[in-house]
Amino acid sequence: MTGGAGAGAAPAAPAHGSAFFITALGIGQICSLGIALLQRPLLADAMGRELCWSKLELQTAATAGLWTAAVLSRRSDVTGRDLNA
């Protein structure tokens, strides 16, 4: 093999504009996950009164939901590669 990119070739550096975009996406994800995960304890009192559940039951149900979503997402037949095809 002469010329071209071989298996040992270094990856190309990202364009300058894409580095800013990736940083902005990271900051946005951190903020949105923080809001999504930190609002649960704040809403637990009102939800508990309305649903007649204890705080422990609410937090256990939310945790079980997150674990279920994680397990099902790992077993899913649809992956990012499949969506791009």
| pLDDT digit string, tens, across residues 19-60 | 888 888 999 999 888 887 788 788 888 899 999 999 899 989
What is the per-residue pLDDT for 18?
81
Residue type, 48: G
Domain range enclosing 39 = 19-75
Q: Sign of torsion, CA 74 59 29 10?
A: negative
Spell out the SS3 assignment of 47-69: HHHHHCCCHHHHHHHHHHHHHHH
What is the per-residue pLDDT for 50?
94
Residue 67 lies in a domain: yes
- Tokens 């580095």 -> residue: 19
Residue 13 lies in a domain: no
What pTM was estimated for this model as a whole? 0.49
According to DSSP, residue 79 is labeled -
What is the tally of structural domains in the chain?
Answer: 1
Contact 44, 58 (CB under 8 A): yes
| pLDDT digit string, tens, across residues 52-66 | 999 899 989 988 998
